[in-house]
Amino acid sequence: MKPQQPHATAEKLIDIAETLFAEKGFYGTSIRDLAEGIGIAKSSLLHHFPTKEKLYAAVLGKLAAEMTAEVKAIRTAAGDEEAQIFRFVQLLCDHSEKKPLRVNILMRELLDNPKRAETAKKWFFKAYFKELATIIRSGQLKGLFKPVHPETFILQLLGAHRYLIISLPTVKQVFDPPVYRHILENHRAELETLVKERLLATAT
């Protein structure tokens, strides 16, 4: 059997796992489904990831690493904290348009994390979260931002965005198309306005 790229199968597994875990959750997804999804036997999956938990952790780990790297890139890039936070909101919306299922994983992780032993000790998104809080604090020190409580504000900002994203499928099938379309169209602007009005110390 040709080895292709090393770890190519493992990468494929992480990809399919990201999709299926996002759609059906950890307990709703079987390792059989995952293996069949990329056309290998179930025991072959277990050769790469000895348990379902480990595969799930790999998915979260990869996702968290990508997200954290992005925020750090924003931090070190040009621009003051105001530019950084708007760039962040922009990325948030862009990603959710391209890969809305990722948000599902992040949500499910929050819901299930307190229960699953394997991943309980270290939380994959701690660095991501801290980085964001640092942007806020730094902007506040420069007088760019209002004195909101950084962690609370970030949770509310992420929540305003992510909750809306995971609501979209339901909204689409329950409400009239114009309502759905308006939500889609207005979300980004409303989120930016939220940041403007809640965070920016407007020149007085």
Residues that bind a copy of itself (CB under 8 A): 23-28, 104, 107-108, 110-115, 120, 123, 126, 148-149, 151-153, 155-164, 166-167, 169-171, 173-175, 179, 182-183, 186-187, 190-191, 193-194, 197-198
Backbone angles phi, psi at 200, to 5 degrees: -75, 130
> Which of 118, 115, 129 lies closest to 56, judged by CA?
118
Judged by CB under 7 A, the residue of 23, 32, 169, 185 near DNA is: 32
Q: How far is the CB of 112 from DNA (least distance, A)?
A: 14
Judged by CB under 7 A, the residue of 25, 37, 46, 93 near DNA is: 46
2 near DNA, judged by CB under 7 A: yes
Measured distance CA(37)–CA(9) in Å, rounded: 12
Backbone angles phi, psi at 75, to 5 degrees: -60, -40
Residue 3 binding partner per list DNA, a copy of itself, none, with a CB distance cut-off of 5 to 8 Å that depends on partner kind: DNA
Amino acid (1-letter code) at residue 124: F
Measured distance CA(200)–CA(21) in Å, rounded: 37
Residue 90 binding partner per list a copy of itself, DNA, none, with a CB distance cut-off of 5 to 8 Å that depends on partner kind: none
Measured distance CA(144)–CA(137) in Å, rounded: 10
Q: How far is the CB of 6 from a copy of itself (least distance, A)?
A: 33
| Three-state DSSP string of 6-32 | CCHHHHHHHHHHHHHHHHHHHHHCCHH
Q: How far is the CB of 21 from DNA (least distance, A)?
A: 11
Residues forming the site for DNA (CB under 7 A): 1-3, 6-7, 9, 29-33, 35, 39-44, 46-48, 50-53
